[in-house]
Amino acid sequence: MDKREYHITINKSIYAQDIWRDVPGPKRGELIRIFGNKLRKYKTELSELVTQDSKKIYAESLGEIQEAIDMCDFGVGLSRQLYGLTMPSERQDHTLKEVWHPLGIVGVISAFNFPCAVWAWNHILAIICGNSVVWKPSPRSLNITRKCKEIWDEAVVKFLSQNKIRHTQGNRFHLQDLLQIIDGDNEPAEWMADDTRIKLLSATGSTEMGKALAPRVSARMGRGLYELGGNNAMVVSPTANLDLAIRAIVFSAVGTAGQRCTTLRRLIVQQDVYNKTIERLLKAYESITIGDPMDSKNLMGPLIDINAVNKMQDVLQKCRNKGYTVHGGDVIQGCYVKPAIVETHQQEQCELVCQETFAPILYIFKYIGLDNAIRMNNIVKQGLSSSIFTNDIKEAEEFTSAVGSDCGIVNVNIGPSGAEIGGAFGGEKDTGGGRESGSDAWKQYMRRVTITTNYGRDLPLAQGIKFDI
């Protein structure tokens, strides 16, 4: 897309939002209900496209589309719950309240690994809140993106056949334009970051990408919502149920071929259960079936591209040079690799471990006491997700307390990946601080207005100020 096409897209987005902001919330919910039902209808086809584009296994792609459907259900309910507040006014015969209004255009930048669900987190909330969306997907996700847009347009047509919308713009009015696709790579992302017409930019991807865009968004006083890199850990305590822990480790370290932002990258195991845990984990890793992601017997497909394979191999070589023990990690063929476990034999986490390598590499560390494990969990720059396996309530409470994990997501007896949509999703530090999907994340997609109304016959001033003329 060139700059001229970009401007046309943004203009269409402005027209569509101008109409949409005036549509009552519950009616906006009606469009999302129709869209959600269409996602249900096309679930198989959409999941196939997710696998085709992202190379994740089909079972996970089904989960991804389900996540988008769940978002629609959440959005329909939310459309009747965009609650403001009323406060008692200090002045006689006055009312004081806060209401939430639509923001305008929301820009969404999504990554290859969750090409549909993460867009849906943003799109559904943005639409329910009365906004329009311009979506710049990863250039690797074009098939699933096109299909989502096609289904969206169908949903809009059905919605318009059942609902009358007040508008004044004649032919220029296309409600389908509430969702538009911006294709391209870094350049259009930069245009979006600099564009004052985009009121909120929600970007998912690497910390590097976020750090390049965020200053541009804030330089124009725009809003940014960032979901960036993770370097997620799990603590395995001596009281952990190892049967559950091993399953959770394998799913969160190997699932999506280690290419989730929530992927488990660091395993912190108490020294008394270290040997037992490694032994069982290595055995579990041996049983992982790798191959065609559409074949239901496989738990792992290929990495996204040859660059990812090379990066993984490079990091593993550096690990060997450092004297770490590397189990697995070999290239099978093309982009198919074996997942790797790296025993570091130390508590210190070197630079290699502190960076996020978007590949199935799991580093293992030993800890002695929980304080030590919490410090190890928190030492990296990223702060997305974390978990502890323990049957000791004191340990679980400490890990989730203010002095425990410093991440946005803190789990007990489940792995760090695979969050439900109902909670707010996101993390601290280099992860960017944004929160998406459930809870009250919707508030970022609206502007808050504080309204004071005087229904009396006098004009009292706040703070009792006297200013008589």
What are the backbone angles phi and psi of residue 158, rounded to the nearest 5°? -65, -45
Rounded Cα gap, residues 30 and 79, in angstroms = 9
Please tell me whether residue 260 binds ligand UN1 under the rule CB under 6 A.
yes
Rounded Cα gap, residues 418 and 110, in angstroms = 18
Min CB(449)–ligand UN1 separation in Å: 32
Residue for token pair 């993106």: 145
Catalytic residue among 227, 395, 398, 436: 227
User: Is 227 noted as a catalytic residue in this protein?
Assistant: yes
39 to 58, contacts with ligand UN1 by CB under 6 A?
none
Closest residue by Cα to residue 327 from 253, 269, 273, 387:
253
Interface mask toward ligand UN1 for 396-425; x: CB under 6 A = ---------------------xxx------
Min CB(466)–ligand UN1 separation in Å: 57
Rounded Cα gap, residues 267 and 365, in angstroms = 6
Which tokens is 150 given?
A: 């096609």
Q: Which is nearer to ligand UN1, 107 or 130 (CB)?
A: 107
Q: Which is nearer to ligand UN1, 6 or 114 (CB)?
A: 114
Min CB(111)–ligand UN1 separation in Å: 6
Please tell me whether residue 118 binds ligand UN1 under the rule CB under 6 A.
yes
Q: Which is nearer to ligand UN1, 128 or 257 (CB)?
A: 257
Catalytic residue among 116, 129, 261, 319: 261
Collect contacts of 222-226 with beta carbons under 8 A, ≥24 apart. 222/193, 222/196, 222/198, 223/103, 223/199, 223/444, 224/200, 224/434, 225/122, 225/200, 225/201, 225/432, 225/434, 225/435, 225/436, 225/444, 226/202, 226/431, 226/432, 226/433, 226/434
Which tokens is 214 given?
A: 């965020």
Q: Which is nearer to ligand UN1, 23 or 106 (CB)?
A: 106
Going by the DSSP 8-state scheme, the letter that residue 434 receives in this structure is -
How does strand 340-343 pair with strand 325-328?
antiparallel
Min CB(166)–ligand UN1 separation in Å: 37
What are the backbone angles phi and psi of residue 111, rounded to the nearest 5°? -105, 170
How does strand 198-204 pair with strand 105-109?
parallel
Residues in the chain: 469
User: Is 398 noted as a catalytic residue in this protein?
Assistant: no
Please, are residues 280 and 364 in contact by the beta-carbon 8 Å criterion? no
Q: Which is nearer to ligand UN1, 252 or 344 (CB)?
A: 252
Min CB(380)–ligand UN1 separation in Å: 17
Min CB(206)–ligand UN1 separation in Å: 11
Please tell me whether residue 303 binds ligand UN1 under the rule CB under 6 A.
no
Closest residue by Cα to residue 61 from 302, 335, 248, 294:
294
User: Coil, helix or strand for 189?
Assistant: helix
The CB-nearest residue to ligand UN1 is 419
How does strand 264-270 pair with strand 325-328?
unpaired
Which tokens is 245 given?
A: 């822990």
Q: Which is nearer to ligand UN1, 258 or 328 (CB)?
A: 258
Min CB(145)–ligand UN1 separation in Å: 16
Please tell me whether residue 261 binds ligand UN1 under the rule CB under 6 A.
yes
Number of amino acids touching ligand UN1 (CB under 6 A) = 11
Pick the binder of ligand UN1 from 9, 132, 204, 232 (CB under 6 A).
Answer: 204
CA diameter of the chain = 86
Please tell me whether residue 114 binds ligand UN1 under the rule CB under 6 A.
yes
Please tell me whether residue 377 binds ligand UN1 under the rule CB under 6 A.
no
What are the backbone angles phi and psi of residue 135, rounded to the nearest 5°? -115, 120
Min CB(232)–ligand UN1 separation in Å: 10
Stretch near ligand UN1 under the rule CB under 6 A, chosen from 36-44, 111-119, 183-191, 275-283: 111-119
Please, are residues 18 and 109 in contact by the beta-carbon 8 Å criterion? no
62 to 91, contacts with ligand UN1 by CB under 6 A?
67
Rounded Cα gap, residues 338 and 419, in angstroms = 25
Q: Which residues are catalytic?
A: 227, 261
Residues in the site for ligand UN1, rule: CB under 6 A?
Answer: 67, 113-114, 118, 204, 260-262, 417-419
